Structure 1
């Protein structure tokens, strides 16, 4: 890789992983025809999507809930909040 490679300008994170985990990641990365780094980026992007995506989803949800009859909106919002709580607890 050239010392002037654009990837050198990207943020870097160094992590320590338990013995054997890097090998497991490498096997999956090879299966997916990706480098270990690319495989980890895919996994991290799934877990930590850009906030704009989340904002877009919330706007979509608000639009859908807004079209429901008024008497159903509170239950719909409760279901949305319950699901968000469940997802938050899964990632903690």
Structure 2
């Protein structure tokens, strides 16, 4: 068990060093962080009214629900930027 914890902590430290702390590499991070916050605040997204002019407007399915369920508490507790980074590091390790 100590070996598993040591490997996890080393991996987390490695990914923490690789994390670009000044910027987000992908603009999807903003979308996922806010969707995670909405999941935390309002519950699951059953519709996505902001996509009414796309094919996703009529039949929306949140295929990232498990990722957002993991990310939601971190975004709610630490804010969207730090919460997204912490989630990324923990899931990467």
**TM-score normalised according to structure 2 size:** 0.27
Task: Identify which of structures 1 and 2 has the higher relative contact order when contacts are C-alpha pairs closer than 8 Å and 6+ apart.
Answer: 2
